[in-house]
Amino acid sequence: MENLLRKGVREAIKNLYGAEIEDNLLQVQKTRKEFPGDLTLVVFPLTRITRMSPEQTAHEIGEFLIKNIGAVSAYNVIKGFLNVTIAPEEWASKLYLISEVSDYGATPPGENSETIVIEYSSPNTNKPLHLGHIRNNLLGFSLSRICEAAGNRVIRTNIVNDRGIHICKSMVAWKMFGNGATPESVSKKGDHFVGDYYVLFDKKHREQAAELEAAGATPEEARDNAPLMIAARDMLIRWEAGDEETVKLWHMMNSWVYEGFDVTYKSLGVEFDKIYYESDTYKLGKEIVLQALNEEHLIRREDGSVWIDLTADKLDHKLLLRSDGTAVYMTQDLGTAVIRYNDYHFDRHIYVVGNEQNYHFQVLSLALLRMGFRWASGLHHFSYGMVELPEGKMKSREGKVVDADDLISEMTDTARTMSQELGKLTGYSETEKENIYRQIGLAALKYFILKVDPKKNMTFNPLESIDFNGNTGPFIQYTYTRIRSVLKKAEETGIEWRHGKENTITPNQKEINVIKLLNDFPAMVTEAASELSPALIANYCYELAREFNQFYHDYSILGEADNGSRNFRIRLSDLTGRVIETGLWLLGIEAPERM
């Protein structure tokens, strides 16, 4: 419809003023809700051509559109804004047109499409996934689908942080206190099992540090010189040196964690095209650092540590190699970025990482550019806010987190309770019911997290998320099942609504409101990809579901006496269901046939 208005305004400018108009002067937007109209033309830029006031210009163009463009049925002028009303019949034609598009809303990749690598999840192999990881995974996976739907070639990647001092802490704790236990021997999921030893390390380390402080050490000296911390640092050195016993222990404990991660990823419904491991990429990172040092891009200090000076970029000095030669996070990320570029020659690389790492990714991009990797200008940090609980921030090392597996299970349990109270799943087997409970619970969880602007911190409240009314995932799912019920009944009664076009239909305002939203869907997908915001899709889905329900409440569909109007409303319902299903899919949410 925007293009229709643009074309009409071009004709008006040419016929009224004998001029051709530049694209940047044609500013069309949705009409604000407090004013009548569908689309608004910003008239101010056109006054240089018309040599008249904005109001006079708007009236002249409005009159031309009424007389010459059949799709325009009315207009009004508010200062320098021309509000245009599109004729109801035009909206009906639009519905027929877009309802015939099989993959409506998606853009296939073309010659100029970008290749985008999206990294998300990035877990550590010293603990299970928690609520913070859930937000990361949901954002990253949804972004990958949205960017793909917008016509890009997308590669979903994960970097597993499987080495470093934090990993050695779990290894040391298991070796000292585990007594040979395994996940199988204690009937515990592997990632939870290893995570317990990470928490145990922290507890024992605090006790040892407290004893050293009591003996006169400063807090920093006590933390650094506690026997457990010394053992962890020694283990890291042995691991990087390839000590056989240390590497064997590392492989064994990591394998436990990977098995646990796979279960959680499957439950959450996220996947990856390729998984990288820090234990592989840090080696190349060290080579890159040493090469840059030889080329005098970096600085080696007296203790042997290697740094990059970024003060000219208004940052500071950043450590790239410790004095003992071991790598830091930045070293690994340098290597991973280079490997991925060699693998995919991406146009953009999006890191889905919390805003606590803003500085890290500033340094990463600048360091690679300084080292001569020009493609590093395509690195983008998708910086999202932290997710907290009503009682405050989570702390992994103290065990004060909301475990991802527990949360998924609790959401399913809550969905089961609420669905049983509604009593609408009679006739379904227990297996079918359990699958629907899972779909509802995950929809509640995913939607509650994704509807929030990713840049903002958020507080997760499970009870608010699973309401079947209001701005929730289950409400949108329920709207979809309502539409599926209408379509099923239409099929059972033999209504042939797909054939032919009812040219005499004049849709009512409630129907027009739904069609307008349906018309917006492709542009919304494009905007969400451009803005990197799943929240735009989430809130669009809610707005569409809400608008459809208002229409459904006020007008009969299958009971409509006029066959043309009935078939039109079935078509409207069908396209709405398809768009809701696609929108939910972009969010990683399933659309059940019944709830």
DSSP 313: G
Q: Is the dihedral of CA 271, 275, 279, 281 positive or negative?
A: negative
Whether residue 403 is contained in a domain is answered as: no
Whether residue 405 is contained in a domain is answered as: no
Number of domains in the chain: 3
Does 19 share its domain with 165?
A: no
Stretches in the chain below the pLDDT threshold 70: 391-400, 500-503
Domain boundary among 388, 413, 428: 388
Does 49 share its domain with 169?
A: no
Whether residue 344 is contained in a domain is answered as: yes
pLDDT tens profile 284-326:
999 999 999 999 999 999 999 999 999 999 999 999 999 988 8
Helices and strands (H, E) in the chain, number of each type: 20, 14
Does 127 share its domain with 75?
A: no
Alpha-carbon distance of 287 to 284, in angstroms, equals 5
Does 323 share its domain with 176?
A: yes
Whether residue 128 is contained in a domain is answered as: yes
Close Cβ partners of 438 (under 8 Å, ≥ 6 residues apart): 412, 415
Alpha-carbon distance of 536 to 544, in angstroms, equals 12
Does 248 share its domain with 326?
A: yes
Domain boundary among 320, 353, 388: 388
Q: What is the CATH number of the domain that holds 541?
A: 1.10.730.10
What's residue 508's pLDDT? Answer: 96
Does 372 share its domain with 292?
A: yes
What's residue 326's pLDDT? Answer: 83
Domain boundary among 325, 354, 388: 388
Does 81 share its domain with 126?
A: no
DSSP 423: T
List beta partners, residue 86: 72
Structural domain including 64 reads 2-86
For residue 94, how many other CB atoms are within 10 A of its CB? 20
Whether residue 592 is contained in a domain is answered as: no
SS3 breakdown of the chain: % helix, strand, coil, rounded to 5? Answer: 60, 15, 30
Does 460 share its domain with 354?
A: no
pTM of the complete model: 0.91
Q: What is the CATH number of the domain that holds 30?
A: 3.30.1360.70
Whether residue 449 is contained in a domain is answered as: yes
Q: What is the CATH number of the domain that holds 342?
A: 3.40.50.620
What's residue 397's pLDDT? Answer: 46
Does 80 share its domain with 171?
A: no
Whether residue 133 is contained in a domain is answered as: yes
Does 342 share its domain with 231?
A: yes
Whether residue 324 is contained in a domain is answered as: yes
What's residue 391's pLDDT? Answer: 65
Does 164 share its domain with 75?
A: no
Does 353 share its domain with 493?
A: no
